[in-house]
């Protein structure tokens, strides 16, 4: 699903991480953790081609991102759901319109029932016609998750998806992602929250990738 071969990245101020080699299989569940500024968001951006690595090769769904044409990249991205750290909504559109956007902008069908089921799934059934600036931080994160999963992605990349949520809601959102994983979606979640990781491990076979120095390693049994 995702393969990194000797990937290094440097934004210009020295290497952020070096020689990352990893392979995340179809249908797998991974957490990406480590100190603030270690490069978690950068790894996610490399996975959906928002960023090219300084060196090394990133492949997604069997194809090197750097070798894809624009159309191939767009097609690949349609199969990837992304929950951005800052959510990135269009404030003049309603919650329902924002959530439906990944489908409507690519000409795919969206029924009212599908949309209301999905909003209900993330506990936002009563907010379909609200506008993003009126949502709380946690409601925005839930809407961002709904928008990411509306395309029934093969891969879901979530950057601190529970950062603004209380513990109950964090668990609930995590379980939604576990449910999605059980239906076959590969999941990668960047998070600082070790409690969330421990909670997840009781429900799913999740592996943990952890930054240690400038390396990204599979974490051992300490988590
Ligand atoms: N576009 C950019 N240009 C220059 N430096 C950047 C850019 N984006 C990120 N950085 C720097 O790269 C480092 C890693 O950033 P990144 O957002 O990947 O870390 P993170 O582990 O996700 O952090 P956090 O947990 O705080 O979200 C940080 O020091 C950040 O300031």
- For ligand 1, atom 18, which residue shows the shortest CA distance? 39
Task: Give the nearest ligand 1 atom to 43 CA.
Answer: 18
Distant-in-sequence, close-in-space partners of 120: CB < 8 Å, separation ≥ 6: none
Please report the beta strands in the chain, taking only residues with DSSP state E, as ranges in sequence order: 2-10, 15-24, 29-33, 55-60, 63-64, 80-83, 155-159, 186-190, 206-212, 215-218
Per-residue pLDDT, 221: 44
DSSP 84: -
Average the pLDDT over each of 8-12, 113-117, 133-137, 155-159 and give the range with the smallest value. Answer: 113-117
The reply to whether ipTM tops 0.95 is yes
- For ligand 1, atom 10, which residue shows the shortest CA distance? 11
- pLDDT single digits (tens) 46-104: 999 999 999 999 999 999 999 999 999 999 998 999 998 887 899 999 999 999 998 87
Question: Is 154's C-beta closer than 6 angstroms to any atom of ligand 1?
Answer: no
41 C-alpha vs ligand 1 centroid, how far in Å?
A: 7
Task: Give the nearest ligand 1 atom to 160 CA.
Answer: 27
Which tokens in the block code for residue 23? Answer: 């392979």
223: pLDDT strictly greater than 50 = no
115 C-alpha vs ligand 1 centroid, how far in Å?
A: 34
Average pLDDT, integer, range 23-44:
94
Q: Which CATH number fits domain 1-79+154-223: 3.40.50.150, 3.40.50.720, 3.90.550.10, 3.40.50.300?
A: 3.40.50.300
Residues 33 and 190: beta-carbon distance below 8 Å = yes
- Closest CA relative to residue 2, chosen from 144, 154, 196: 154
- Number of other residues whose CB lies within 10 A of the CB of residue 97: 16
**pLDDT bucket at 114, cuts 50 / 70 / 90:** confident
Per-residue pLDDT, 172: 87
- For ligand 1, atom 3, which residue shows the shortest CA distance? 11
222: pLDDT strictly greater than 60 = no
**Domain range list for the chain:** 1-79+154-223, 89-152
Residues 159 and 88: beta-carbon distance below 8 Å = no
pTM of the model: 0.92
Q: Rounded to 10 degrees, what is the CA torsion of 50, 51, 52, 54? A: -170
Task: Give the nearest ligand 1 atom to 34 CA.
Answer: 21
Per-residue pLDDT, 174: 93
More reliable by pLDDT, 122 or 59: 59
List the alpha helices (DSSP H) in 122-182. Answer: 137-149, 167-182
Rounded mean pLDDT of the chain? 90
**pLDDT bucket at 220, cuts 50 / 70 / 90:** low
Task: Give the nearest ligand 1 atom to 45 CA.
Answer: 18
- pLDDT single digits (tens) 9-21: 999 989 999 999 9
């Amino acid at each position: 699903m995702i393969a990194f071969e000797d990937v290094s990245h440097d934004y210009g101020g020295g290497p952020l991480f070096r020689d990352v080699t990893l392979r995340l299989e179809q249908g797998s569940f991974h957490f990406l953790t480590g100190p603030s500024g270690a490069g978690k968001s950068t790894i996610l951006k490399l996975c959906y081609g928002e960023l090219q690595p300084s060196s090394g090769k990133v492949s997604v769904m069997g194809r090197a991102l750097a070798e894809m044409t624009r159309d191939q990249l767009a097609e690949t991205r349609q199969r990837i759901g992304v929950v951005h750290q800052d959510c990135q909504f269009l404030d003049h559109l309603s919650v329902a319109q924002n959530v439906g956007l990944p489908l409507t902008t690519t000409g795919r069908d969206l029924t009212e029932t599908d949309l209301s089921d999905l909003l209900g799934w993330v506990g936002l059934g009563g907010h379909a016609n609200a506008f993003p600036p009126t949502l709380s931080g946690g409601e925005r994160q839930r809407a961002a998750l709904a928008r990411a999963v509306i395309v029934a992605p093969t891969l879901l990349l979530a950057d601190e998806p529970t950062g603004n949520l209380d513990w109950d809601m964090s668990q609930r959102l995590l379980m939604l992602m576990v449910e999605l994983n059980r239906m076959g979606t590969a999941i990668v979640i960047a998070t600082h929250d070790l409690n969330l990781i421990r909670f997840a491990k009781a429900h799913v076979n999740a592996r943990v990738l952890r930054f240690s120095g400038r390396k990204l390693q599979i974490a051992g049994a300490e988590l």
